[in-house]
Amino acid sequence: MHTVVVGTSGVTASDVLAVARGGARIELSAEAVAALAAAREIVDALAAKPDPVYGVSTGFGALATRHISQELRAQLQRNIVRSHAAGMGPRVEREVVRALMFLRLKTVCSGHTGVRPEVAQTMADVLNAGITPVVHEYGSLGCSGDLAPLSHCALALMGEGDAEGPDGVVRPAGELLAEHGIQPVELREKEGLALLNGTDGMLGMLVMALADLDTLYKSADVTAALSLEALLGTDKVLAPELHAIRPHPGQGASAANMLAVLAGSGLTGHHQDDAPRVQDAYSVRCAPQVAGAGRDTLAHARLVAERELASAVDNPVVLPDGRVESNGNFHGAPVAYVLDFLAIAAADLGSIAERRTDRLLDKNRSHGLPPFLADDAGVDSGLMIAQYTQAALVSEMKRLAVPASADSIPSSAMQEDHVSMGWSAARKLRTAVDNLTRIIAIELYAATRAVELREGLTPAPATRAVIEAVRAAGVQGPGPDRFLAPDLAAADAFVRGGDLVAAVEKVTGPLQ
């Protein structure tokens, strides 16, 4: 099994994906263990002094003015975890919780948190055992980090609360720890706070969304090319010299992908035949510009994620010179903004894909295709309602594009008076990514059927490869009306699993 070694300098996006989705094992580097021990010595020395230090010998948030005596400090750390584990609503997905815990471990191993090495090792042991704490949908405001979600994870480390075992069954966390020979942690000064105070949930969801969207943007380039082909459009608008004079990198990449898919097509260039067109519609002609802008947004979001993956997010932090200082690095604004940006870009990509699908189904705009791509229009409805489903998904995408990060609800008796709502931005982005996958799948379903209905014209080799692969995956071709939902589900799985991109790349080589 793949092993991820966690050191002091952060982790990579591929590390997060390996742990969250691939079940990779985790090891702590010797460097990380040494840094943990050195930082703990500083915290222990401060804890022994009479002077109050936030997070070590005081209360938290609006209660930070109270000095806590030594005999109550272990109770203080247990209490912050128990009281903050206040989430409600549906359970969060397993991969999100694993990413959340792994990224908290990443910060702990930086040596800036003051957590003992044995606590960090327990975090790794729980992940390696396949134990996943139950985390709920609601509870994070994205400031002071994802407090409630992280608290539910810390609660499981203490042997309390509920968790899902490797068999998928939810049971008391203490039972699961005992079965795997893991001793519950006894938290000491600073440790409870350090386990809760980070942007790890929203960052984990950002990393996974970036991976998914990378595949979806390639998929959208493919379906846009297939739609252009089915509409007998021109590929001249994809010429590199046209995109070079507006040098947005994403735009050039999308145009190059579409051109690669269309290479050798016998369908393109017929826009001057029976119903002459000077230009194709915007949804066809401007596909690289829209998808390209989204790709450039992805690039910016990836840069933010890389910076955050290299960060140590906690408050207070232990500095190499021995100071323990309060800060605001836990604020989720940098991550929240790009999560919202991605939801906006995804909504626009879904919207333009739906417009192309609608054009394929409209006999007045499809340049000779049958109404709704039906076998016997009037007797058959064809893909009429598939487009309704796609339109409903696009409408929800537009609602999900409303930014969460523009909102703020003060909390903690006005101590935390401006929050990021980054967790909420991440949760709605996950829904948007799911919906975008379905939207692209419906365009794929319509475009492949439309291409097959262009009798006497030869599609591009890449298009033929897509049609062959998608039919082998259980997505049926043209014919009389049938129960459509299974076809759409199969198309969704084909896109979601990366099979669409893989089918094209067997012909074109790697897409950009």
Among 484, 396, 493, CA closest to 446: 484
Task: Return the ∠ at Cα 211 (arms to 223 and 259), rounded to 5°.
Answer: 30
Q: Which residue stretches of 263-372 are H helix? A: 282-285, 287-309, 333-361
Residue 138 is among the residues annotated as catalytic for this protein: no
Distance, in Å, from the CA atom of 404 to the CA atom of 408, rounded to the nearest integer, reads 9
Residue 309: CB atoms within 10 A of its CB come to: 19
Side chain identity at 126, as an amino acid letter? V
CB-based contact 360:224 (threshold 8 Å)? no
Angle at CA of residue 496, ends 296 and 342, nearest 5°:
30
Using CA atoms, how far apart are residues 220 and 224, in angstroms rounded to an integer?
6
What sign has the CA pseudo-torsion 404, 405, 408, 411?
positive
Quote the strand ranges of 12-157, DSSP E. Answer: 25-28, 88-91, 132-133, 136-138
Report the residue count for the chain: 512
In angstroms, rounded to a whole number, what is the distance separating the alpha carbons of residues 262 and 229?
7
Give the DSSP H/E element, type plus range, for residue 178.
helix 173-179
Closest CA to 349 of 291, 421, 266, 262: 291
* Ramachandran angles phi, psi of 485, nearest 5°: -55, -45
Closest CA to 250 of 313, 294, 187: 294
Q: Backbone phi, then psi, for 162, in 5-degree steps?
A: -115, 155
Distance between CA atoms of residues 447 and 220, nearest Å: 12
The span from the CA of 239 to the CA of 244, in Å, is: 9
Give the 3-state secondary structure of residue 482. coil
Q: Which of 54, 282, 337, 445 is catalytic?
A: 54
Contact 448, 226 (CB under 8 A): yes
Return the C-alpha torsion angle 400, 402, 404, 410, nearest 10: -130
Please check whether residue 360 is in contact with residue 373, taking contact to mean a CB–CB distance below 8 angstroms: yes
Report d(CA 156, CA 154) in Å as an integer. Answer: 5
- Supply the residues annotated as catalytic: 54
